[in-house]
Amino acid sequence: MDQQTFSTKPADLKGPWDVAIIGSGPAALTAAIYTTRGAASTLILGGEIWGGQLMLTTEVDNFPGFPQGILGPKLMGEMRAQAERFGAEFVGQNVTAINISQQPFQITVNSQQYSARSIIIATGAETLWLDAPGVQKLIGRGVSSCAPCDAPFFKNKKVAVVGGGDSAMEEALVLTKYASEVTIIHRRDSFRASAAMQREVLENPKIKVVWNTEVTEVKGELKIESLELKNNKTGETSNFPVDGLFIAIGHKPGSEVFKGIIETDERGFIKKTTSDKRQETGYESATNVQGIFVAGDVHDARYKQAITAAGFGCMAGMDALKYLEISR
């Protein structure tokens, strides 16, 4: 199909735009595809480093539509091209402040001001990686934070998982479908995961647990070879050969700039408004501020997948379109 623009852009990049989308991962770009195709003028404030977590990934094998897999950066490039094809304008800078006391909302990017009638927050979350030598160098070379994405690469291999929360339990359980041996390494002598998840893990014969132990170094040149472990009770160190290390120690949502303006939970994940309010208004992705919607990992500590983020982006895009129609 030929290049086509569905929405009418404001004469000035400053706006007012119908929708400003903050972020540029799968949630943000999917939202933009929906808002532009819904004829809403759309500005994407995509950040200095655009594309989100998939830009740091190699092969993506679990995004539908790519039977041979697709490289993360390639997938993001395609999503961005699709959003831009329908007229979304992309600004590669970080938002520094938002002002919701007036309509249209004001969005600041350093000394530049943009305005928009509605906002979709899709700033994603960052994986918290272990602060140990070797980790950064070996991400994608045996070090991962996503078992549903990478477990099939570890068929009949020996893997370790770090963490003691629900994510670590889930990673370990997913890995048992492929790996020959799964070891959870946890810094304390008890898990914080839910009782049901703990039971499932502790009853699984493929999973071993090493308690009171920290990973002090990840060793390997081109790929991971072993872990240096330290028992934090005895101080004893040991070498633990592995083919893979899955880090599940939490995520940091990109919500700093919205602090005190948009409600978050105690870990900083943006909260959707109450379920009563969502049912009453019909906006599933609404935040506590009317006209501001949320999508993707910045509000989702549970699924954290590109495809769920894209789904949330679709919902937020549709909610914003409905809001714009009603509030015009």
- As annotated, the active-site residues are 146, 149-150
The one-letter code for the residue type at 86 is F
What's the closest the beta carbon of residue 170 comes to ligand NAP, in angstroms? Answer: 5
Site for ligand NAP contains 250 (CB under 6 A): yes
User: Which of 301, 315, 320, 321 forms a contact with ligand NAP (CB under 6 A)?
Assistant: 301
Say if CB 192 and CB 168 are below 8 A apart: no
Q: Are strands 105-109 and 97-99 parallel, antiparallel or unpaired?
A: antiparallel
Q: Which residue has the tokens 């490289």?
A: 71
* CA gyration radius, the chain: 22
Q: Which stretch binds ligand NAP (CB under 6 A): 202-210, 243-251, 289-297, 306-314?
A: 243-251
3-state secondary structure 15-55: CCEEEEEECCCHHHHHHHHHHHHCCCCEEEECCCCCCHHHH
Site for ligand NAP contains 89 (CB under 6 A): no
CA angle, residues 298, 302, 308, in degrees to nearest 5: 70
User: Which of 177, 192, 199, 223 forms a contact with ligand NAP (CB under 6 A)?
Assistant: 192
User: Which of 187, 219, 230, 278 forms a contact with ligand NAP (CB under 6 A)?
Assistant: 187
Across-strand partners of 120?
21, 293
Nearest to 159 by CA among 106, 223, 107: 223
Site for ligand NAP contains 134 (CB under 6 A): no
Q: Which stretch binds ligand NAP (CB under 6 A): 102-110, 176-184, 247-255, 273-281?
A: 247-255
Site for ligand NAP contains 253 (CB under 6 A): no
Site for ligand NAP contains 199 (CB under 6 A): no
Contact set with ligand NAP (CB under 6 A): 130, 162-168, 170, 187-188, 192, 248-250, 301-302
